[in-house]
Structure formats: structure tokens, C-alpha cells
Amino acid sequence: MIKIAVQKSGRLYDESLKLLKECGLHVDNGMDQLKAEVRNFPAEVYFLRNSDIPQYLEDGVVDIAIIGENVLYEKNANVFVLEKLGFSKCRLSIALPKNDEYSGITSLEGKKIATSYPNTLQKYLNEKNVNAEIHLISGSVEIAPNIGLADAICDLVSSGSTLFKNGLEEKDILFRSEACIAANPKALEDKKEIIDEILFRVQSVLKARDHRYILFNIPNHQIKTVGKMLPVLKSPTVLPLLDEGWSSMHSVIHVDDFWKVIRGLKEHGAQGILVIPVQNMVI
Ligand code: PRT
């Protein structure tokens, strides 16, 4: 039995449960439940506060967790990051009122900085040999300069709209973060097989999200040329059509190549191009 922690409610909750579901884990979670059984896998899911997860993970109360890297770094948790998950991307940044002078972190020498991330900020200030006063706030950090509580803030930014609404400007990035799967070091040894199984499923789901299955009809004389344009896993599948002189080609492409490939296919006479999401990808 493996114990998996996810955030109880908040920004990581939906994507975490979606990922577990796509990995084939059916979580029986009801409202306000702290713990849920997984019906078809030897696992229990614990719904915890994001900020508490690093400690539970380090203490071995849970074996693995879906958590923001920023929280692990802040708590200096003795755990292993097994896989970055590509969601809840954000950055921990220094921001100042829009018209304030800033020519690097040394501009904050002797100033007051409000943050919920004192350890990460202190580490950064130490690296840069800057002495500044850290003012710890647990929420709504962005109002601190407006009410005279601090000269600058150090907070998470994703779209930047909160900073904008509060007349602040992002000046420096300390840390880039995204959701990840992290594990307790002892669980990695004791429950290696089951953790490997989860990781294998997660990786195949993540890979599939980045790829599309495409199929299209192509005149036979273009097969070789078009085949070279497809950045495929091995080699595209080619099947004859009933109509003489035409074939159907099938392939898997990375989303980053998508528009370039589609344009090329059309230029070479491809017709009836179908694009299908890939559910799982095992290479
Ligand atoms: O209560 P609990 O401890 O469970 O939750 P929490 O307060 O730590 O959680 P939550 O749900 O706010 O955030 C969970 C995780 O989401 C964080 O630890 C990050 O890893 C990640 N994340 C991604 C963010 C953001 N983006 C984000 N934008 N966490 C917070 N924010 C806040 C930021 O603090 C600021 O107030 O959103 C505001 C800025 O957003 P933009 O889009 O206006 O720039």
C-alpha cells in the first residue's frame, strides 16, 4: 500500500486528481474527506494542505506527493523530486512599485521585503550579499508596498495580473516552479516497485499529452517526401487506399511540430487530415 498526498483544495487539486485518474487510479473521494481509498490500485490518497505536505513527506507519513517545487525548496525538505508535471507553473519573483528605481537586487540593500517565502528569499539575499529586512506575511503579500509595510515584495507570479492590479512590477526571478511528484527517500527503497509503476504511468500520460496521432490521405508519389517531414517515433504507417495511386499515412507527432507539419502535408497534397489526442504513450 502506498500513501499519496495531494492538496486538499486549491490550485493543485484539480490537476492532481486528473493526473491520478489518467494514470488509471480510481480515487473514491467525497467532500471534506481527509483520506480516500483507490479502488483498483494498492494506494491511499491523503488530502492535505499544500504547505503541510513537505513535512508529512519528509516524516514518511505519506510516501509520495504531488506538490509545487517552490514549497519543497522553501521548506528545504529532504525528499526526492521524481518528475516535473508541467502544471501550476509559476515563478517566485521580486516586485516593486512601478516607478521605483531598481538596478538589481543590491537596490534592496537596507530595505524591507514582504514575503511568504522567507527561507528562499534569505538564501537568495545571502548569495548576492545583500542585507535586507524580511517581513513575513502569510497572504495578500502584494498589498504590502501600498500600505507602507514594505518597499518590495517577493511572491509567486503566474499571469502577472495581481502585480499589475496592485501597481507593482516584476523585477527579478528567484525561482521557477511547477507541480512535481516527490518521494520520501525511504519509501523509494521500501516501495520501489509500486513507485516505479506509478512513475511509469505518469510518464506515459505526460508524453501522450505532448503528442497527437495524425492520419491523412496522400498521393503515392508524395509518400517518400512526406515521410521525411514527419518527426515520428520510428517510421510512419502506410496503408493502401481502394482508390489507386493513393495511400493513408499514420504517424505520431509532437505538439510543438504540429502546425509546421500540417502546413507541409497540405503543400504536398495531403487530404482528409485527422488529428486525434493520444491517451497513453509507452515507448
Ligand atoms: O492552503 P494550502 O497550504 O493548501 O495552499 P496554498 O495557499 O499554498 O495554495 P495555493 O492553492 O494558493 O497554491 C498552491 C501552489 O500552486 C503553489 O504552492 C504554487 O506551487 C502553485 N501556484 C502556481 C501558485 C500560483 N501559480 C499563483 N499565481 N500559487 C499561488 N499563486 C498566487 C500568488 O501568490 C499571487 O497571490 O496567485 C497570485 C498571482 O497570480 P497571477 O496570475 O496574478 O500572477
How many CB atoms neighbour CB 197 within 10 A? 16
Grid coordinates representing 170? 516584476
Tell me the average pLDDT of the chain. 94
Cβ of 16 less than 6 Å from ligand 1: no
Q: How far is the CA of 239 from the centre of ligand 1 (A)?
A: 49
Q: Determine which residue's CA is closest to atom 13 belonging to ligand 1.
A: 11
Distance 108 CA to ligand 1 centre (A): 24
* Residues in the chain where the model's pLDDT stays below 70: 30-31, 232
Ligand 1 centroid from CA 134, angstroms: 20
The finding on whether 140 has its CB within 6 A of some atom of ligand 1 is: no
| Ramachandran category for residue 250: left, alpha or beta (phi over 0 → left; psi -120 to 50 → alpha) | beta
pLDDT of residue 281: 85
Q: Quick check: CB of 84 below 6 Å from ligand 1?
A: no
Please give the angle made by the CA atoms of 96, 93 and 126, to the nearest 5 degrees. Answer: 95
In angstroms, rounded to a whole number, what is the distance separating the alpha carbons of residues 253 and 259?
Answer: 10
Query: Residue 280's pLDDT is what?
Result: 85
User: Does residue 120 have its Cβ closer than 6 Å to ligand 1?
Assistant: no
Phi, psi of 183 (to 5 degrees): -135, 150
According to the model, what pLDDT value does residue 67 have? 98
**Which residues face 76 on adjacent strands?**
none
- Altogether, the residues listed in the chain come to a count of 283
Mutate to test the pocket of ligand 1, among 14, 156, 157, 168 (most ligand atoms within 8 A of CB): 156
Distance 187 CA to ligand 1 centre (A): 28
Is the Cβ atom of 160 under 6 angstroms away from ligand 1?
yes
CB of 214 closer than 8 Å to CB of 50: no
pLDDT value of residue 30? 67
Distance CA 42, CA 64 (A): 13
Residue type at position 244: E
Cβ–ligand 1 distance for 166 under 6 Å, the answer no
Residue 279's pLDDT is: 87
From the CA of 135, how far away is ligand 1's center (Å)?
19
Residue 31: predicted pLDDT:
67
91 to 64, 156, 176, 229, 275: CA distances (angstroms):
23, 5, 4, 36, 33
Residue 196 has a CB neighbour count (10 Å cut-off) of 12
Task: Render pLDDT for 81-134 as a digit per residue (tens, 0 to 9).
Answer: 999 999 999 999 999 999 999 999 999 999 999 999 999 999 999 999 999 999
